[in-house]
Structure 1
Amino acid sequence: MSKLFTPYDLSGTPLANRVVMAPMTRTRTPENIPTELTALYYAQRASAGLIITEGLPITDEGRGYLYTPGLYTDEQTHGWRTVTDAVHAKGGKIFAQLWHVGRMSHVSIQPDNIAPVSAGEVPATRTTVYAFTESGQPGPVAPSVPRALTTNEVRRVTQDFVASARRAIAAGFDGIELMAANAFLFDQFLSSELNTRTDIYGGSIENRQRFLLETVDALAEAIGGARVGVRVSPFGRLYDLKPFADEAEAWMSVASALNERDLAYVHLNYQPTITAALVPAGFSAAFRKAYRGTLIAAGGFDRELAEAELAKGEHDLIAFGTSYIANPDLVERMRNGWPLAQSDPSTFYGVIGAKGYTDYPAFDPTDVMVHQNAVKETA
Structure 2
Amino acid sequence: MKTLFDPVSVGDYNLKNRIVMAPMTRGRAGSERIPNDLMAEYYFQRASAGLLITEATVVSKQGIGWIDSPGIYNSAMVKGWQKVTRKLEPTGTPIFLQLWHCGRASHSDFHNGDLPVSASAVRLDGDKIHTPLGKKEYETPRALTNGEIKTTIDDFKKAAVNAKEAGFSGVEVHAANGYLINQFLDSKTNLRDDEYGGSLVNKYRFLKEVLEAVLDVWSPKQIGVRISPNGVFNDMGSDDFKETFMYVVEELNKLELGYLHIMDGLAFGFHEKGKPLILSDFRKIYKGIIVGNCGYTKETAEKRVANGSADLAAFGRPYITNPDLPERLKNDWPLNPSEDMSLWYTPGPEGYTDYKPYTHQPA
Same fold by TM (over 0.5)? Answer: yes
Give the one of 238, 244, 247 matched to 2:241. 247
Residue by residue over 1:128-147, the C-alpha shift from the partner in whole angstroms, topping out at 9 and shown as x without a partner, is: 32213xxx3xx332222110
The RMSD of aligned alpha carbons is 1.6
Alignment of 1:280-359 (within 5 A): 280=275, 283-343=278-338, 345-359=340-354
Contact 2:262 2:279 in 1 (8 A): no
Question: Is the contact made by 2:265 and 2:278 (CA closer than 8 Å) also made in structure 1?
Answer: no
Aligned to 2:198: 203
Distance in 2 (CA, whole Å) between partners of 1:96 and 1:176 is 5
Shift of 1:96: 0.3
Query: Displacement, 1:87?
Result: 1.6
* Equivalent residues, number: 361
Q: C-alpha displacement at 1:2, in angstroms?
A: 6.0
The offset of 1:85, in angstroms, is: 1.1
- List gaps (5 residues or longer) in structure 1: 372-379
> Relative to 1, partners in 2 of residues 1:343 and 1:146: Cα closer, same or farther, differing over 3 Å?
same
What secondary structure is seen at the aligned counterpart in 2 of 1:198?
A: coil
1:91 corresponds to: 92
* 2:138 counterpart (140, 143, 155): 143
SS in 2 for 1:203: coil
Aligned to 2:102: 101
Residue 348 of structure 1: how far off its partner (Å): 4.1
Alpha-carbon distance, 1:199 to partner: 1.2
Q: Residue 264 of structure 2 contacts residue 279 of structure 2 at CA under 8 Å; is this kept in 1?
A: no
Give the distance between the partners of 1:205 and 1:96, measured in 2 at CA.
28
Q: Which residue of 1 aligns with 2:64?
A: 63
Structure 1 residue 274: Cα displacement: 4.9
In structure 1, distance between residues paired with 2:215 and 2:113: 33
Instruction: Indicate the percent of aligned positions where both proteins have the same amino acid.
Output: 40
Kindly name which structure, 1 or 2, has the bigger radius of gyration based on alpha carbons: 1
Q: 1:311 to 1:103 in 2, by over 3 A?
A: same
Q: Deviations over 1:230-264 (max 9, x none)?
A: 000002000111323x2211111001100110211
In structure 2, C-alpha distance between the alignment counterparts of 1:2 and 1:330, rounded to whole Å: 19
- Cα distance in 2 for partners of 1:346, 1:231 equals 24
Asked if 2 retains the 8 angstrom alpha-carbon contact of 1:47 and 1:91, the reply is no
Q: Which runs of 4+ in 1 moved over 4 A?
A: 271-274
- Give the equivalent residue in structure 1 for 2:34: 33
8 Å CA contact 1:344–1:356 kept in 2: the answer is no
- After superposition, the Cα gap between the structure-2 partners of 1:356 and 1:344, relative to the gap in structure 1 and judged at 3 Å, is farther
Give the aligned partner of residue 224 of structure 1. Answer: 219
Check the 8 A contact 1:333/1:340 in 2, yes or no: yes
Give the distance between the partners of 2:258 and 2:127, measured in 1 at CA: 33
2:263 counterpart of 1:269: yes
Structure 2, unpaired ranges of 5+: none
CA distance in 2, matches of 1:76, 1:88: 18
The 1:60–1:271 alpha-carbon spacing in structure 2 relative to 1, beyond 3 Å, is: farther
- In structure 1, the partner of 2:124 is 124
CA distance in 2, matches of 1:363, 1:20: 19
Alignment TM-score, normalising by the size of structure 1: 0.91
Query: What is the aligned partner in structure 2 of residue 23 from structure 1?
Result: 23
User: What is the SS of the residue equivalent to 2:279?
Assistant: helix
| TM value normalised by structure 2 | 0.95
Partner SS, residue 284 of structure 2: helix
Q: 2:14 aligns to what?
A: 14
Deviations 1:184-216 (A, max 9, x none): 111111111211112100111110010001111
